[in-house]
């Protein structure tokens, strides 16, 4: 009994203490600086001139110096890379990245920051970079980045897209004064989709405190003079991203869901299943077509079939 207890105590003494087991790591701050230039969303990237990944594109950033915190290090690097006063930018922390093998030089933990400003000037390469420039953000860009900067860029881009939905940050991509068309283009460029002009104007002009008319117009451009607006005092905005059109794969899945769940759907929602059925040779009497039936109809047409030749579904129940 006492021998067993003694062996346990010996094992406990042999195990390292939490302080002894600590991991020593260097800390860096990486920057995702976004701007809209030449009608495209662009990110600030540098070409590395030192190993590792010499000659590859990377996000600007650097090690935290003695006596400064993460935010101070990030703001210092922004000034060094762009020559801008950091107060001109929207600036916020995104997240930390700490995978053990993310940097071949050793254990390096980085914290990413998102910065946004309108039509930023040509950047100046800082320490450890051969050159710096604006690169259009697209699918092929992430394959060219060093370290895990592809993930860092993707996460920051998704943060920017989310901010457009829930905050009034969009005018930050514009100048102090902007037209509704310029503001709409910000949403379209960052979200990567087209927006209906009339719906957009109605939403942004009715959102309290989002934008305010300046009482002036922009002249000297083709067409009618455009009214100018400025950012309002509001900070919160409900502007959800429009749902993207379903892909053929989505329609394929919806078709199977419609067929597999036909019996239960017919019982639980008979009136909606009858309404506006696209699979019948004549329209059903009702109000709103069921989404799964519409999806099945579109899928059959996409693969070269005819909705009228489709198997009978629960929405084929005769109307009342």
pLDDT of residue 222: 76
Q: Strand 26-37 vs strand 108-116: parallel, antiparallel, or unpaired?
A: parallel
Rounded Cα distance between 189 and 288, Å, is 33
Secondary structure of 23-92 as H, E, C letters: CCCEEEEEEEEEEEECCEEEEEEEEECCCCCCCCEECCEEECCCCCCHHHHHHHHHHHHHCCCHHHCEEE
pLDDT of residue 22: 81
- Containing 118, the helix (H) or strand (E) segment is none
pLDDT of residue 223: 77
pLDDT of residue 134: 93
pLDDT of residue 300: 54
Rounded Cα distance between 108 and 120, Å, is 30
Return the ∠ at Cα 144 (arms to 93 and 29), rounded to 5°: 25
pLDDT of residue 270: 45
pLDDT of residue 250: 62
pLDDT of residue 273: 42
Domains, the chain, ranges and CATH?
Answer: 26-163 (3.90.79.10), 177-231 (1.10.10.10), 248-316 (no CATH)
Going residue by residue through the chain, which has 320 residues, state the pLDDT in tens, using 9 for 90 and above: 444 444 445 545 566 676 666 878 999 999 999 999 999 999 999 999 889 999 999 999 999 999 999 999 999 988 887 777 777 789 999 999 999 999 999 999 999 999 998 877 777 776 667 788 999 999 899 889 999 999 999 999 999 999 999 999 999 999 899 999 999 999 999 999 999 999 999 999 999 999 999 999 998 777 789 999 999 999 999 998 886 655 666 666 666 665 655 544 444 444 444 444 444 344 444 445 555 455 555 555 555 555 544 444 444 444 43
């Amino acid at each position: 009994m006492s021998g067993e207890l003694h062996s346990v105590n010996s094992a406990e003494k042999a195990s390292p203490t939490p302080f002894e087991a600590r991991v020593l790591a260097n800390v860096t701050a990486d920057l995702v600086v976004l701007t809209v230039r030449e009608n495209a969303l662009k990110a600030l990237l540098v070409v590395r001139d030192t190993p590792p990944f010499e000659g590859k594109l990377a996000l600007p950033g650097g090690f935290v110096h003695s006596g400064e915190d993460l935010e101070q290090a990030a703001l210092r690097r922004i000034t060094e890379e762009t020559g801008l006063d950091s107060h001109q930018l929207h600036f916020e922390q995104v997240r930390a990245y700490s995978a053990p093998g993310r940097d071949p030089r050793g254990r390096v933990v980085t914290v990413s920051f998102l910065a946004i400003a309108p039509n930023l000037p040509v950047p100046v390469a800082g320490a450890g970079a051969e050159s710096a420039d604006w690169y259009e953000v697209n699918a092929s860009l992430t394959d060219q980045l060093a370290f895990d900067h592809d993930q860092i860029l993707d996460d920051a881009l998704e943060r920017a897209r989310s901010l457009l939905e829930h905050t009034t940050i969009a005018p930050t991509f514009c100048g102090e004064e902007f037209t509704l068309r310029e503001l709409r283009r910000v949403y379209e460029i960052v979200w990567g989709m087209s927006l209906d002009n009339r719906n957009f104007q109605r939403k942004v002009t009715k959102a309290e405190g989002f934008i305010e008319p300046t009482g002036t117009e922009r002249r000297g451009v083709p067409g009618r003079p455009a009214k100018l607006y400025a950012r309002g005092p509001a900070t919160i905005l409900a502007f959800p991203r429009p749902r993207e059109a379903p892909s053929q794969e989505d329609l394929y899945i919806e078709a199977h869901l419609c067929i597999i769940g036909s019996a239960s759907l017919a019982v639980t929602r008979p009136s909606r299943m009858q309404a506006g059925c696209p699979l019948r040779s004549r329209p059903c009497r009702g109000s709103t077509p069921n989404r799964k039936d519409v999806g099945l109809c579109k899928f059959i047409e996409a693969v070269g079939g005819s909705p009228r030749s489709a198997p009978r579904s629960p929405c084929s129940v005769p109307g009342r």
